[in-house]
Chains A and B, each alone.
Chain A
Amino acid sequence: MGTIIEAAATATESSLGAVQLAGTAARFCLKRAGRTPDELDLLINVGVYLDNNISEPAIAALIQEDIGANTEQHPGGGQGTFSFDVRNGACGLLTGIYLADGMLAAGTIKTGIVVAADSDPDPGISEGFVFPAVGGAILVSADDQRTGFTAFRFATFPEFAGLFQSDLNWRQAAPDGTRQPGRNILTVNVADTYATRAADCAESTTRELAAASALDLDEVGLLVATAPVPGFAGELARRLGISAGRVASLPRSLAGAHTAAPAVALEPANLAAAGTTIFVSAGAGITVAAALYRG
């Protein structure tokens, strides 16, 4: 018995905010898996850059209502949906899957979905926001026959925390009166050296995961590697000696996608054909999450 990925889906309609992108991706994902929203016992949102920079409630609750997953109680008539947010930057999807895997293994839930989306909360005002607007969703469940996820590994490298930072800060009105009366402004700062350091950290964590799992990297059929900077997957694959044909790639328009990137990379992939898949994500912190999956 293992935790398997039933389906992955994405949404890219440019007119939608993050909450709608995540909800749309969730609906696509459910449809692809042949599931109804009410079958979801768990809904985790891992998006970071959200409509109006909302901090409460959990975005997952808004998405749960929007997709119509057990929005009203029917005690004794089955299980409701439990929704909350994970905020672990670009490692959020794998972190959410890790938590869902734990709840699946415990029997706490039978089906869960992890959704992600980012969009510029304040277009034209935010500074340094370069991530493409995209939503993603990955549906996981317990399976009696298949192996699914077999190992996870997480690491943090706080010495590189300064290379990727974002915050909201009040900026007083400009002296020339062009911005009245002042504003909370989102600022994202990513250093030029971040991409290289992220690849360094991801490489070491991936090698640790492989070693702990007695895995030869030659056995890897598919590498799903994502970070919110373009070119990450190719660079990590080169370092690990994984050929380009075994790397899940993002469409050019979504290069540098943030929290939804693993779903984007996974959507066209065939996990069963890949045999062994390694997921690796790197985010601000620097944080790295890695997971091993047997399709």
Chain B
Amino acid sequence: MENHDQPAGDGARWMALAGGVGGSPRGASYACRFAGIGACVPAGRLTTDELMASTKYKTDIELERLTGVRKRPVVRAGEDSYTLALGAARDALAHAGIDAGDLDMLLVSSISRHVGGMRIQIEPPVSVSLKEALGARRAITTDISNACAGMLTGVFILNDLVRQGRIRRGMVVSGEYISELGRNAAQEVRDVLSDQLPSLTLGDAGAAAIVERAPDGAPGIEVAGFTTVARHSRLCVAFPATIGPGTTMHTKAREIHQAGTDEAVPLLREMLDQAGLQFGEIDYLVPHQTSVRAIRKGMEQWSQDLGATPKHVVVTVDELGNTSSTTLFVALWKYLNEGRLAPGDRVMLLALASGLEVGIVIFRPGQLVERYGHDH
């Protein structure tokens, strides 16, 4: 972990900042890094043309033009939230080169909890069966839920515990079978003003991230922060469908995008200050993936307000849709596999989610890139 200059003034931070502004008051602070990123992207694909041809009502919605989403992965028979999570967890373990028995903590952050097809499991927590299936014998387990920010919330929690030495290594995993929300929306959407329009962009995927103690001075997680701007808490709400199996989601899309864009500005500034960085020094910004247009509009405002632009902005929503809590890590996994990241790059993960949750993690991949067959 690098030492950064302390921020000016009293160091007040609106975000809950891992380790506090000035470091841990109780005991040592270890460095922390990503040991492996895994994903399970189902092989099925549903194009936007196919989905829009399935709407119950004739609509004039040009979904692909509006969102940039051309297609999204969809589960096939036998796949659900649980199988996607399990596949992603195994992939992350394989890339990290560690045994599940070495995990001290296992967090499951799926929003969808389809276990056994369309059945939504409430109890026991999904983490109990995933722990058993993986053989994570000594892991403390719990499910967490924080909308599309769930996985990054898990990283925030694990990073905090690793830095204190309470755990050495932990995993957060999500499996999202949410294309069914799109199927339900297709039965009810009538026009572009429908509050279920965003459901038509959703795709299925599992993702997992392993966070571990790093040697002193090794590249890794540099800052991690989260906050909830709760005056926007009811802009996107999901609950069991009334028209059929599964779930429906109701979103005030324009309002939540604008709120996310606006609220993120001072928080981005805080985290950049904490890291001692300018926005232009970020090599890769991985934002939450709702639509190409939303990302572009957000970037325009952030670049204007922060006076710079990251060198690369990662967009995967066109090919993968919005895979909710897994989006940031599916994107990261894709870029790692494609050899696009260098060990010294500065990567910013930006979660913007219903709540309104804003989470920011800045890290350098370091040894992570070698795990994907790239040595740069």
Contact = CB atoms under 8 A, between A and B. Distances in A.
Interface of A: 1, 41-43, 48-49, 52-62, 64-65, 69-89, 91-92, 95, 98-99, 102-103, 105-109, 154, 156, 158, 161, 164-170, 181-184, 186, 188, 283-287
Interface of B: 9, 12-20, 22-27, 111-113, 115, 118-125, 127-129, 131-132, 140-147, 149-150, 153, 157, 160-161, 163-164, 166, 226-231, 233-234, 236-247, 249, 263, 266-267, 269-270, 353-357
A62 B18 contact: no
22 contacts: A41-B16, A55-B238, A56-B147, A57-B353, A64-B230, A64-B233, A65-B231, A65-B233, A73-B266, A75-B267, A79-B12, A79-B15, A80-B228, A82-B227, A83-B230, A87-B145, A89-B123, A98-B140, A102-B166, A109-B16, A169-B245, A284-B125
A64 B233 CA distance: 9
B135 to A, nearest CB: 11
A92 B144 CA distance: 10
A57 B353 CA distance: 8
- Looking at B123, B153, B160, B247, which has the most chain A CB atoms within 10 Å of its CB? B123
B27 A105 contact: yes
A77 to B, nearest CB: 7
Contact of A106 (B12, B111, B160, B228): B160
B16 A82 contact: yes
A280 B67 CA distance: 49
- Which of A71, A88, A181, A182 has the most B CB atoms < 10 Å from its CB? A88
Nearest to A71: B231
B340 to A, nearest CB: 31
Contacts of B356: 61
Contacts of B24: 105-107
Contacts of A287: 124-125, 128, 141
B234 A158 contact: no
Nearest to A88: B142
A161 B357 contact: no
Given A95-B142, A161-B124, A84 B266 contact: no
A84 B153 contact: yes
A77 B15 CA distance: 11
A242 B109 CA distance: 38
B328 to A, nearest CB: 16
Contacts of B115: 167
A161 B129 contact: yes
Contacts of B128: 156, 158, 161, 285, 287
B125 to A, nearest CB: 5
Contacts of B19: 106-108
A285 B26 CA distance: 34
A112 B153 CA distance: 16
